Amino acid sequence: MEILLAQPRGFCAGVERAITIVERALARYGTPVYVRHEIVHNKTVVANLKAKGARFVEDLEEVPDGCVVIFSAHGVPRAVVEEAGRRSLRSVDATCPLVKKVHTAVARHERQQEEIILIGHRGHPEVVGTMGQLPEGRVKLVGSVADVAALQVADPARLAYTTQTTLSVQETRDIIEALRGRFPEIRGPSQGDLCYATTNRQQAVLELTAQIDLLLVIGSANSSNSSRLRELGASKSIPSHLIDSHLDLRDEWFRGVDRVGISSGASAPESLVLEVVGALLAKFPGSTSRNLRLLEENVHFPLPPELS
């Protein structure tokens, strides 16, 4: 069997930055350090940081007064930042700079008195954070072309859109096209606000699908960009599975498979990929593995000044 590894895959600059922030905060402030929500959506990353002393909570109420709290890479509503300030918590913001850019765009459109449409998945923490940059009801959410058809707006001449960063490239394109079709004057980035990591990983998997019989995506079920990679494989009629680790591999997936493609979501550590490859090489003696390189990524984000 041949194992083809999509490249780029795995950690993006925003995830690396967020994990480093938690590690530096633990080193600088000592334990415990509280993290609001999973710092990134990956079980292994969260378990490793827990073992080092990070405490993950969903609500600021769970953080004792005076403690350090880190906001996850997905970003938080303004109300959360304000509450942390009121309670004199020592907050550190690990929001990815590319999510911050979306927050800035939302604020700008609001200043320009434009009604804002957000393309995204209801309930995802990034969407909750982006919508929470403005008072409730000011950002309208659409998740599909059908939602666009049902959308009611105050003034079609004063409209703008923005997007979640980790959506499907194709679906986002379709929704933007539908928005532009219904509201020709709407303003927004032509490809949406999908981040480089989302776009590159999807493009690499797309290239892979032309050559494989089976796709394995390493990532956790709540990881948006990992789920989109699996869906992309399935949309090309390739049996595709999202797995947390080599422990999830099932023998029956490999019957009649000559070439297996592997990718990993932006929050999945490379060690998990290596474990999966190792397990496959052991399970199928004589197999080989190689990278299918699409492009090099060289993106790095600075740490917050207090931890750099």
Which residues are annotated as catalytic? 126
How far is 130 from 258, CA to CA, in rounded Å? 43
Asked if 73 is part of the footprint of ligand SF4 (rule: CB under 6 A), the reply reads: yes
Footprint of ligand SF4 on 280-299 (CB under 6 A): none
Asked if 266 is part of the footprint of ligand SF4 (rule: CB under 6 A), the reply reads: yes
Determine which residue in the list 197, 205, 217, 280 makes contact with ligand SF4, applying CB under 6 A: 197
Give the shortest CB-103-to-ligand SF4 separation in angstroms: 12
Give the shortest CB-268-to-ligand SF4 separation in angstroms: 11
Q: Are 114 and 158 in contact (CB under 8 A)?
A: yes
The C-alpha angle with vertex 244 and arms to 235 and 15, in degrees rounded to 5, equals: 90
Using the minimum distance from each CB to ligand SF4, give the nearer residue, 14 or 183. Answer: 14
Using the minimum distance from each CB to ligand SF4, give the nearer residue, 66 or 302. Answer: 302
Asked if 229 is part of the footprint of ligand SF4 (rule: CB under 6 A), the reply reads: no
- The region of 138-146, 191-199, 215-223, 233-241 touching ligand SF4 under the rule CB under 6 A is 191-199
Q: Are 223 and 287 in contact (CB under 8 A)?
A: no
Asked if 220 is part of the footprint of ligand SF4 (rule: CB under 6 A), the reply reads: no
- The region of 105-113, 129-137, 192-200, 229-237 touching ligand SF4 under the rule CB under 6 A is 192-200
Total residues at interface with ligand SF4 (CB under 6 A): 15
Determine which residue in the list 168, 198, 200, 223 makes contact with ligand SF4, applying CB under 6 A: 198
Footprint of ligand SF4 on 4-43 (CB under 6 A): 12-15
Determine which residue in the list 162, 168, 225, 227 makes contact with ligand SF4, applying CB under 6 A: 225
Task: Locate 155 and state its tokens.
Answer: 């003034």
Using the minimum distance from each CB to ligand SF4, give the nearer residue, 115 or 126. Answer: 126
Give the shortest CB-96-to-ligand SF4 separation in angstroms: 3
Q: Are 163 and 116 in contact (CB under 8 A)?
A: no
Footprint of ligand SF4 on 95-114 (CB under 6 A): 96, 98-99
Angle subtended by helix axes 169-182 and 196-209, to nearest 10 = 120
Contact string (CB under 6 A) for ligand SF4, positions 138-167, x = contact:
---------------------------xx-
Asked if 212 is part of the footprint of ligand SF4 (rule: CB under 6 A), the reply reads: no
Asked if 127 is part of the footprint of ligand SF4 (rule: CB under 6 A), the reply reads: no
Give the shortest CB-210-to-ligand SF4 separation in angstroms: 24
Binding site for ligand SF4 (CB under 6 A): 12-15, 73, 96, 98-99, 165-166, 195, 197-198, 225, 266
